[in-house]
Amino acid sequence: MPHSKINLILNAEISGTTSTHIGSVRILTGSNSQIGFRAMMGSTIASISSVQFQRFNNGTYIAELTSSGKARIEDVSGSSLNVGAGNNVYGNEWYDIYASGSHATGSALIKGIRITLQ
């Protein structure tokens, strides 16, 4: 499978600090050996928002993106991971996406996520 991208358009607003399930995605890695995550995200007040990716079948954490803590939407990129057992990233599996904020009176905003395979 050649280099590819999965774009998820979201309009998630998560109030408070409780981690909330905002979606799931099936990732087919094919012959790709690297996976990367990126999101348009932020918060309504000066607080940190996070997006976490976990394997559906056992809940194993694989990656997290975190905003800078400013009250705005920003493009947040994570580092690439190798596909395989060492990073709990496998092809042809479902992954859950969770979002949370760091302040009880603020909201985490998630506008979109891009998953890149190469």
Rounded CA-CA distance 49/4 in Å is: 27
| Cα 19–chain centre separation | 12
Q: pLDDT (tens digit, 9 = 90+) per residue, 2-53?
A: 688 999 999 999 999 999 999 999 988 888 899 999 999 999 999 999 999 9
Q: Which domains does the chain have, with CATH numbers?
A: 4-117 (2.60.120.1340)
Band of pLDDT at residue 1, cut at 50, 70 and 90: low
Residue 11 carries which side chain, given as an amino acid letter? N
* Cβ-Cβ contacts under 8 Å for 41 (sequence gap 6 or more): 49, 51, 65, 67, 73, 74, 76, 99, 108, 109, 110, 111
Rg (CA), the chain: 14
Q: With the C-alpha atoms ordered 84, 111, 40, 72, is the resulting torsion angle positive or negative?
A: negative
Pairing of the two strands 107-117 and 4-15 = antiparallel
**pTM for the model:** 0.90
